[in-house]
Amino acid sequence: MKLTFFGGAETVTGSKILIEVNYKKILIDCGLFQGLKELRKKNWEALPIDLNNLTSVILTHAHLDHSGYLPLLVKNGYKGFIYCTKPTRDLTEVILLDSGKIHEEDAKRANKYHYTKHKPAKPLYNIQDAKDAIQKLKGFDFDKWFPIDENILFKFVNSGHILGSAFVLLKINEKIIVFSGDIGRKHPIILNPYKYITHADYLVVESTYGNRVHPTSTIKSKLLKYINHTYSKGGSLIIPTFSVERAQEIIYILSVLKQEQQLPKIPIYLDSPMGVNATNIYYSHKNHHNLSEQTIQNMQSTVQLISEVQASRTIVNDESPKIVLAGSGMLTGGRVLHYLNKMIEDQKNSILIVGFQADGTRGRALLSGDSELKFFGKYHKIKAEVFKINEFSGHADQSELLDWLQHFKTPPLLTFINHGEPHQSQALKTKLKTTLNWKCTVAKMNEVYYLN
């Protein structure tokens, strides 16, 4: 057996792990690179895998950095199925269609306003490519073994990161290899918490927050503080929002504040076609979260869901105070840029960052205190106030990673640490060696690892 990391190693994006055994080639996750330009350029490079011989693809969850390369994989010749949990199947469909649409729109806008050196600019992939990949998705239940062949089985176990997210367990010739994907919080806001796993011969574990412990202050009170502060200025609060998980968490907290009659009487919008679709998927998969029917009804009455372009334009041009949740979460594209185009140069408005911002994204630039932001081909002065709530993270911190890892009854033969910026991965490696005395290594991009 051997492992090769074609993404998600020494970085937090582009997750792709190839395992080869018994003449089978299985790809765990198939994500897009995001953030820094040198990473994004990798999306245009051909994968060094013979796609005719790729047996299967297995997804840990639906996020774009784990699923967003699938349309290219299929376009370039992959003929097999893509295995995932049933909620992941539904969310991946929404995410890939949105991604294809954004790639098409970005290329069209770049050609129209001539802010690209490519003549013409072309989308990485289009909506039809996304539809072709969606046709290959197959949904499975949690906690059951399913065969790839007579020697290879796979199982999904809840990881608590987003709806449908899972640890992937492979049983190969009686050896167990566990891929963590992204691990959620021990006490998530709306999801069922991650399950413990007690045995792995080999383990691949994420390290997004490998050296950090999340703060424990109350999210609800912080969110209310920024809402009231912005309202007191007569401005609007713009929340760049990840459409899957973060949007639903914020809607839930806003609904609680509304039930407690603490919110000012201003409209609240979720302006994101993908966010709207993802929210409805959350409501439909009732066994995979802890929301009651009444809670769902409260959420539905708190936030107006906006999909149509004309309705979005009307809200963008409305100068009265409001709260807007809009994608994308790292300001890499999407409708949030139209709100910023209108509001970022007015100090009465506020921008609230509620999630991880990868290096090289506009969201990271905002948090770094940059004085201007470039989008739509020009620079915009940042005069709106910028705030951040760290407590919203959907990733386990170091203490939660250790909580999950300590439930293995015996140490894996080798633990691969991936999906983290270098200092985070190295910190987790040191912690595992000193605390658990585990044998571990930080995964490196394109390096082949042989498993006994």
Domains of the chain: residue spans and CATH: 2-212+394-450 (3.60.15.10), 219-391 (3.40.50.10890)
pLDDT at 393: 85
- Cis amide linkage into residue 328, ω under 30° from 0: yes
pLDDT digits (tens, 9 = 90+) for 217-233: 789 999 999 999 999 99
pLDDT digits (tens, 9 = 90+) for 395-448: 999 999 999 999 999 999 999 999 999 999 999 999 999 999 999 999 999 999
Q: Is the pLDDT of residue 358 over 90?
A: no
Rounded to an integer, what distance in angstroms lies between the CA atom of residue 48 and that of residue 34?
A: 19
Mean pLDDT over residues 186-209, rounded? 96
Rounded to an integer, what distance in angstroms lies between the CA atom of residue 115 and that of residue 101?
A: 19
pLDDT at 180: 98
Closest C-alpha among 190, 145, 204 to residue 172: 145
Cα distances (Å, whole numbers) of residue 408 to 8, 200, 401, 439 = 24, 8, 12, 14
pLDDT digits (tens, 9 = 90+) for 175-195: 999 999 999 999 999 999 999
Q: Is the pLDDT of residue 172 over 90?
A: yes
Q: How confident is the model at residue 117 (pLDDT cuts 50, 70, 90)?
A: confident
Residue with tokens 């490696």: 429
Model pTM? 0.89
